[in-house]
Amino acid sequence: METTDAFTGLECIDCGATFDAEEGSHRCGECGGILDPRYDYGAVDLDRETLASRPFDSMWRYEELLPFARESAVTMDEGATPLVECPKLADELGVERVVFKDEGRNPTGTFKDRGQTVAMTAAVQHGATDVALASAGNAGQAAAAYAGRADIDSHVFLPARAGFTNKAMVNVHGGDMTVVGGRITDAGAAYADAMAEHDDWYSVKTFETPYRHEGKKTMFYEIAEQLEWETPDAIVYPTGGGVGLVGMHKAAKELRELGLIDELPALYAAQATGCQPIVEAFESGSEVHEAVEHPDTICGGIEIPDPGASPWILEALRESGGGAVATDDEEILEAAIAVAKGEGLEMAPTCAAAASGAWELGERGEFEGDETVVILNTGTGNKDADVLRSHLMGKGI
- Residues binding ligand PLP (CB under 6 A): 110, 112, 138-139, 206, 238-244, 301-302, 348, 350-351, 378-379
For residue 116, the minimal CB distance to Zn ion (Å) is 25
Q: Which neighbouring-strand residues pair with 177?
A: 156
Specify the residue, 28 or 336, whose C-beta has the smaller distance to ligand PLP. 336
For residue 105, the minimal CB distance to Zn ion (Å) is 37
Specify the residue, 6 or 302, whose C-beta has the smaller distance to ligand PLP. 302
* Single-letter residue type at 40: D
For 53, residues 6+ apart whose C-beta sits below 8 A from its C-beta are: none
Specify the residue, 62 or 312, whose C-beta has the smaller distance to ligand PLP. 312
For residue 368, the minimal CB distance to ligand PLP (Å) is 27
3-state secondary structure the chain: CCCCCCEEEEEECCCCCEECCCCCCCCCCCCCCCEEEEECHHHCCCCHHHHHCCCCCCHHHHHHHCCCCHHHCCCCCCCCCCEEECHHHHHHHCCCEEEEEEHHHCCCCECHHHHHHHHHHHHHHCCCCEEEEECCCHHHHHHHHHHHHCCCEEEEEEECCCCHHHHHHHHHCCCEEEEECCCHHHHHHHHHHHHHHCCCEEECCCCCCCCHHHHHCHHHHHHHHHCCCCCCCEEEEECCCCHHHHHHHHHHHHHHHCCCCCCCCEEEEEEECCECHHHHHHHCCCCCCCCCCCCCCCCHHHCCCCCCCHHHHHHHHHHCCCEEEEECHHHHHHHHHHHHHHCCCCECHHHHHHHHHHHHHHHCCCCCCCCEEEEEECEEHHHHHHHHHHHHHHCCC
For residue 9, the minimal CB distance to ligand PLP (Å) is 24
Specify the residue, 307 or 362, whose C-beta has the smaller distance to ligand PLP. 307
Specify the residue, 25 or 81, whose C-beta has the smaller distance to Zn ion. 25
Distance of CA 383 to the CA centre of its chain: 17
**Quick one: what does residue 33 bind among Zn ion, ligand PLP, none, with the CB cut-off 5 to 8 Å set by partner type?**
Zn ion
**Quick one: what does residue 12 bind among ligand PLP, Zn ion, none, with the CB cut-off 5 to 8 Å set by partner type?**
Zn ion
**Quick one: what does residue 141 bind among Zn ion, ligand PLP, none, with the CB cut-off 5 to 8 Å set by partner type?**
none
Specify the residue, 303 or 343, whose C-beta has the smaller distance to ligand PLP. 303
Specify the residue, 47 or 287, whose C-beta has the smaller distance to Zn ion. 287
**Quick one: what does residue 264 bind among ligand PLP, Zn ion, none, with the CB cut-off 5 to 8 Å set by partner type?**
none
**Quick one: what does residue 159 bind among Zn ion, ligand PLP, none, with the CB cut-off 5 to 8 Å set by partner type?**
none
Rule CB under 5 A: which residues touch Zn ion? Answer: 12, 14-15, 17, 28, 30-31, 33
For residue 317, the minimal CB distance to Zn ion (Å) is 23
For residue 245, the minimal CB distance to ligand PLP (Å) is 6
For residue 128, the minimal CB distance to Zn ion (Å) is 23
Work out the number of other CB atoms within 10 angstroms of the CB of residue 36: 16
Q: Confirm if 312 and 320 have CB atoms less than 8 A apart.
A: no
Specify the residue, 28 or 352, whose C-beta has the smaller distance to Zn ion. 28
For residue 209, what are the CA distances in angstroms to 11, 24, 25, 76, 98? 13, 10, 7, 20, 33
For residue 136, the minimal CB distance to ligand PLP (Å) is 6
For residue 211, the minimal CB distance to Zn ion (Å) is 17
**Quick one: what does residue 104 bind among ligand PLP, Zn ion, none, with the CB cut-off 5 to 8 Å set by partner type?**
none
**Quick one: what does residue 301 bind among ligand PLP, Zn ion, none, with the CB cut-off 5 to 8 Å set by partner type?**
ligand PLP
**Quick one: what does residue 387 bind among Zn ion, ligand PLP, none, with the CB cut-off 5 to 8 Å set by partner type?**
none
For residue 123, the minimal CB distance to Zn ion (Å) is 22
**Quick one: what does residue 17 bind among Zn ion, ligand PLP, none, with the CB cut-off 5 to 8 Å set by partner type?**
Zn ion
Specify the residue, 240 or 295, whose C-beta has the smaller distance to ligand PLP. 240
Specify the residue, 9 or 379, whose C-beta has the smaller distance to ligand PLP. 379
**Quick one: what does residue 315 bind among ligand PLP, Zn ion, none, with the CB cut-off 5 to 8 Å set by partner type?**
none
What CA–CA distance (Å, rounded) separates 353 from 360? 10
Work out the number of other CB atoms within 10 angstroms of the CB of residue 301: 30
